[in-house]
Homo-oligomer: A and B are copies of this chain.
Amino acid sequence: MNVSELPTPTLLLDRRRLVANIARMQASADRLGVALRPHLKTLKSAAAAEALITAGARGITVSTLKEAAYFLDHGITDITYAVGMVPAKLPAAAELIARGADLKIMTDSVAVAQAVAAEAERSNTRFKLLLEIDCGDHRGGLLPQNEEILVIAGLIAESVAHFEGVLTHAGHSYGVNEPAAVERIAAEERDAVVSAALRLRAAGHSVDTVSVGSTPTALFATDLAGVTELRAGVYTVFDMDQQSRGVCETGEIALSVLASVIGHNRAAGKILLDAGGLALSKDRSADHFRPEVGYGQVCDAEGNLIPDLYVTSVSQEHGHVAVRDDGDFERFAIGCQLRILPVHACMTAAAYDYFNVIEGTEVGERWDRVNGW
């Protein structure tokens, strides 16, 4: 089937670009001498996970326990759940482990570590616990010098659970767009977990996992000595947010929303699409460096970028594209299809239950996704 036969709006995944992106990051991890544990929060798809593992990934990262259960159902056992654990979710995590998952959970809280130790004892579950380190992002995590690092490791070491290691995420790498600045943050990210690991080892703890990752730092890091693994997710498809930060080119963006022109408002100088806030998401992450991108970059139905044409505003089911000149009304007739490169792939993809996997303009497989919680 040709892309032009698909009802709109719908989600396209360009297989060639996906494969190239996967290879690029795997090569980066290989060069740095660390394992790659891709984050499936972006693709949430078993077929995508299979492609990643075939290319060399060792284990996966997930953002929800629902993802963990889905991937386990598809035969993937080595899973890190990289969102802070809460006591109420421990029974569900224990069930996944009982079903065969080699699940790593994460916290930065003494209280949660106590709950993990208690639930490990109660249900005889060998939870593997990762300690979250703050490397400068200031979302979650303990600073490497925080004394509670040793308290948590000690609590777990004395329990039925297992102290697995340390993990950090340089989310602040999204605040810069100079390669040198990203490289510097990658070094800070490494130093934070490696120094925490050294302190833990000096206190007698084994630290099997020293985990870093964000797409920008993973691609710009030059030296990850002391790190064991790299996590990143959005690199698989990239998006305009990454492009705005100099992390990728538009020609590497593998995800797009196929939309139809549903109206012309000549008085207001805009074309209306059937892809609005729900189909594209209301994410405006590209604003920092490229505010003109708005809610997405417009391409033609074959995927060729149309310069200076963006989704400038959205309502629930309408995308508004400010035309460049009146000729755009002739070029883009009502009913004509366009592709939108999304601002933030993880947010856009979440509105869809599946990907239409394409090669050029040919639609191939349909890959399912696991959304929700």
A residues near B (Cβ < 8 Å) are 7-10, 41, 63-64, 83-89, 92, 108-109, 111-112, 115, 134, 138-141, 143, 171, 260-265, 267-268, 272, 274, 277-279, 281-284, 315-318, 320, 333-335, 344, 346-347, 350-353, 371-373
Per the bound structure, the CA–CA distance linking A333 and B86 in Å amounts to: 10
Chain B residues, Cβ within 8 Å of A320 = 139
Chain B residues, Cβ within 8 Å of A139 = 265, 268, 272, 315, 318, 320
Q: Which residue of B lies closest to A92 (CB)?
A: B7
Shortest C-beta distance, A205 to chain B (Å), equals: 22
- A41 with B83, Cβ < 8 A, contacts A282-B283, A283-B282 known: no
Shortest C-beta distance, A317 to chain B (Å), equals: 5
Per the bound structure, the CA–CA distance linking A331 and B246 in Å amounts to: 42
- Grouping DSSP codes into helix (H, G, I), strand (E, B) and loop, the A interface class, with mixed when no group exceeds half, is loop
Chain B residues, Cβ within 8 Å of A87 = 334-335
Chain B residues, Cβ within 8 Å of A111 = 333-335
Closest A-B pairs by Cβ, 9 of them: A84-B262, A138-B268, A140-B263, A282-B282, A84-B263, A282-B283, A86-B335, A63-B317, A87-B335
Per the bound structure, the CA–CA distance linking A316 and B371 in Å amounts to: 12
A88 contacts which of B171, B260, B272, B316 (Cβ < 8 Å)? B260
B262 touches A83 (CB 8 A): yes
A347 touches B277 (CB 8 A): yes
- A318 with B92, Cβ < 8 A, contacts A140-B263, A272-B140, A352-B372 known: no
B373 touches A265 (CB 8 A): no
Per the bound structure, the CA–CA distance linking A351 and B63 in Å amounts to: 15
Q: Which residue of B lies closest to A108 (CB)?
A: B263
Q: Which residue of B lies closest to A109 (CB)?
A: B334
- A262 with B86, Cβ < 8 A, contacts A8-B373, A138-B268, A171-B315 known: yes
Per the bound structure, the CA–CA distance linking A318 and B334 in Å amounts to: 40
Per the bound structure, the CA–CA distance linking A314 and B267 in Å amounts to: 37
Per the bound structure, the CA–CA distance linking A7 and B87 in Å amounts to: 11
Chain B residues, Cβ within 8 Å of A63 = 316-317
- A318 with B263, Cβ < 8 A, contacts A109-B334, A372-B352 known: no
Per the bound structure, the CA–CA distance linking A287 and B108 in Å amounts to: 32
Q: Which residue of B lies closest to A139 (CB)?
A: B318
A143 touches B267 (CB 8 A): yes
B7 touches A89 (CB 8 A): yes
A350 touches B278 (CB 8 A): yes
A109 contacts which of B112, B264, B344 (Cβ < 8 Å)? B264
The residue among A85, A112, A262, A353 with the most chain B CB atoms within 10 A of its own CB is A262
